Amino acid sequence: MRQFSRKKFIIFIILGIFAIPLVGYIYQWIKKKLLHVPILGEIKSASYKVGHLLWNTPFKKTDRIHEVNVVIIGSGISGLSAANELFKKGESNFVILELEPTAGGNARNGENVAGKYPFGAHYLPLPSLEMKELIDFLKEIDVIESFSENGLPIYNEQYLCAAPEDRLYIHGHWQSGIVPNFGLAEDDKKQIRRFQSEMKRLKHVKGSDGLYAFSLPLKNSSKDKTYANLDAISMEHYLRKEGYTSTYLYWYVNYCCKDDFGTSTEDTSAWAGLHYFCSRRGVAANSEEHDQLTWPEGNAWLMEKLKQPIASNIRVGNLAYEVNKKGERYEVVSLDTITGNVEQWNCANIIFACPQFVIGHIRTNIAELKNRSYDAFHYSSWMVGNLLVKNNLIEKGGAPLSWDNVIYNSPALGYINSNAQYVQRHQPEINLTYYYAFDEKQMSRKKLLQTSHAELTHMMLNDLKQVYSDIEGSIIRYDAFIWGHAMIKPQVGFIWGEEKRKALTPILGSIYFAHTDLSGISIFEEAFYQGITAATAVLKKGNASN
């Protein structure tokens, strides 16, 4: 009997050990199958698929022919900024062709019961005073209200990022600020401080040509080899070379590279990585130095301001799919993606304000255009998910919900509280906009575009459950925007490389290129200046021929 009881006892224990997870599993299963309602929402993405289909269809003759001076292809920030510049200087004989049903490109937005939220770009750091054109624009649209006695801009405080600005979930606690600090050993903190003071130094350092080492727009940076040569090594290499070892510092720098470019430190050139830390010298009379401008709808707010004066020149839902030279002029052929109507735009100048990988597909009889090389242009892919939740999430200890909320060591980039800029006291629902830049090795573009809504939701939930164990009960819906070609990758050698320089060079003195991928860095400021530069060249040519 004793023997038997011991055996039984052991069996009992083993059963018990299995029973605990089993009970848990059954509970989860019941909850999932019986009580679980799938999370609502949809996937949106850029309509390049439309393009892929149509680039193979042959040219249709059309009698809808328009005569304009300039055709701008693409109504992202680059295209809109070019159009604004033309308009401001008295040239209004132009058209903007935009493939999507609304203008704005990466700076578009959505809206739901909780308010507006970005599909992509969401903020603009305070610009340095050298960026005169941008400062002027911000003044024009009342983002800058006036200037203080010592010449510092006074910003409209509703557009400055609301406090509390950012926080990091690390070691089971929300610390305020995203530079790791909570629970770090003294040596890690020391390395982070060293890195920060080095960045501060590089921010104000100038090359032998008298230009800042790192500037915005990027083309105004010093060409001094001491700095330009940093484009030949990766950011990871730079950190190692400088003797940094702290894993927290590596995480932080990697996070910043991913957040700004969608690339890891290994895949980012050291020049680009440093540019992120050292090019922003923005100041204000009524804000901290590294503050940012932001709106619930993100940069779509700025986009609307750029769009407003020239809105009637935009043809949305029109894919530019063929460009031919006829004598001294060009014929741009576009297709209305809804009606199927084909239209022809005869013009003297073209500004390509669309990504380079698109231009590669456009049918053309122009050899110079056909022969452009796109081999060096690589793009990261992103998911921007918008989580509409009831405003009853239970927060873990530490800093309260902030505008930007980052989780240490998460595969994603954290989430923005898109409602932070609203001044309403009572917000029963809020939009948390969740950013995820994909590593090509883990999730190829193709696979990403095929991933179902349920899987994308699952990915997001797995991540956010670290900080909200009970989040499912609060979710109303989750809409994900998939950007297959979200941002150009500033890989080693790209920014100061030959390929990019060639791609930027106008063709035949009348075809211009303006897009952030030609900067190597996808940010509003670059798009803004790309547009101005192209428009200025068009205008200059016009003046010369008059």
Ligand X SMILES: Cc1cc2nc3c(=O)[nH]c(=O)nc-3n(C[C@H](O)[C@H](O)[C@H](O)COP(=O)(O)OP(=O)(O)OC[C@H]3O[C@@H](n4cnc5c(N)ncnc54)[C@H](O)[C@@H]3O)c2cc1C
Q: Applying CB under 6 A, which residues contact ligand X? A: 51, 73-79, 97-100, 105-107, 120-124, 299, 319-320, 353-355, 358, 382, 384, 483, 486-487, 515-516, 522-524, 527
Which sign does the torsion angle of CA 401, 406, 409, 410 carry? positive
Residue placing its CB nearer to other proteins in the complex, 238 or 301: 301
Residues 212-271 that bind other proteins (CB under 8 A): none
Show the tokens assigned to 236. Answer: 């990871």
Query: 158 near 421, Cβ under 8 Å?
Result: yes
Count of residues engaged in binding other proteins, rule: CB under 8 A: 32
Contact call for residues 398 and 166 (beta carbons, < 8 A): no
DSSP code per residue over 301-353: HHHHHHHGGGGGGEETTEEEEEEEEETTEEEEEEEETTT--EEEEEESEEEE-
Identify which of 437, 358, 369, 342 has the alpha carbon closest to the alpha carbon of residue 120: 437
Nearest to 460 by CA among 417, 415, 419, 428: 415
Residue 20 binding: pick among ligand X, other proteins, none (C-beta 5-8 Å cut-off by kind): other proteins
**Per rule CB under 8 A, is residue 5 in the interface with other proteins?**
yes
What's the CA gap between 281 and 211, in Å, rounded?
Answer: 14
In the shown chain, the binding pattern of residues 464 to 483 toward other proteins, with x for contact by CB under 8 A and - for none, equals -----xx-------------
Q: Would you count residue 183 as binding other proteins (CB under 8 A)?
A: no
As measured in angstroms, the least distance from the Cβ of 404 to ligand X is 10
Residues β-bridged to residue 53: none
CB of 203 to ligand X, least distance (A): 18
Partner from other proteins, ligand X, none binding residue 100, C-beta < 5-8 Å depending on class: ligand X
Nearest to 519 by CA among 546, 496, 537: 496
> What does the per-residue mask of binding to other proteins show for 11-50, with x meaning CB under 8 A?
-xx--x---x------------------------------
160 binds other proteins (CB under 8 A): yes
* Least Å from the CB of residue 287 to other proteins: 6
- 484 contact, one of other proteins, ligand X, none, CB 5-8 Å limit per kind: none
- Pull the structure tokens for residue 6: 């011991």
Q: Interface with other proteins by CB under 8 A: which range of 65-73, 287-295, 459-467, 480-488? A: 287-295
Least distance in angstroms from the C-beta of 196 to other proteins: 21
Q: Which residue of 61, 326, 426, 446 would you call a contact of other proteins, by CB under 8 A?
A: 426
Going by C-alpha positions, the residue among 326, 362, 510 that lies closest to residue 59 is 362
* 120 vs 153, beta carbon nearer ligand X: 120
> 388 by DSSP, 3-state: which?
strand
Partner that binds at residue 384, options ligand X, other proteins, none, CB closer than 5 to 8 Å by kind: ligand X
Least distance in Å: CB of 409 to ligand X? 21
Q: Tell me how far apart the alpha carbons of residues 243 and 359 are, in angstroms, rounded to a whole number.
A: 43
304 binds, among other proteins, ligand X, none (CB under 5 to 8 A by kind): none
DSSP state letters, 486-501: EEE---TTTTTSHHHH
Give the x-and-dash track for 163-182 against other proteins (CB under 8 A).
xxx-----------------
Q: What angle do helix axes 300-307 and 77-88 make, rounded to 10 degrees?
A: 30
Residue 382 interacts with which of ligand X, other proteins, none, CB < 5 to 8 Å by class: ligand X
**Closest CB to ligand X among residues 474, 533:** 533
The three state secondary structure string of 79-119 is HHHHHHHHHHCCCCCEEEECCCCCCCHHHCEEEECCEEEEC
Nearer to other proteins, 12 or 59 (CB): 12
Q: Which does 385 bind (CB under 5 to 8 A by kind): ligand X, other proteins, none?
A: none
Q: Show Cβ contacts of residue 131 under 8 Å, excluding neighbours closer than 6 positions.
A: 216, 217, 525
Q: Which one of 6, 193, 396, 501 is in contact with other proteins (CB under 8 A)? A: 6
Instruction: Please state the closest distance from residue 380 (CB atom) to ligand X, in A.
Output: 9
- Here's the x/- map for other proteins, 405-424, by CB under 8 A: it reads as ------------------xx
Quote the CA–CA distance of 233 and 54 in Å, as a whole number.
40
Alpha-carbon radius of gyration of the chain: 26
Stretch near other proteins under the rule CB under 8 A, chosen from 5-13, 101-109, 441-449, 515-523: 5-13
Q: How far is the CB of 163 from other proteins (least distance, A)?
A: 4
The binder of other proteins chosen from 287, 313, 318, 433 (CB under 8 A) = 287
d(CA 9, CA 368): 83
135 vs 153: CA distance, rounded Å: 9
Tokens 């793009």, residue located: 379
Cα 153-121-118 angle, rounded to 5 deg: 105
Interaction site with other proteins (CB under 8 A): 1-2, 5-6, 8-9, 12-13, 16, 20, 157-158, 160-165, 286-288, 291, 394, 400, 423-428, 469-470
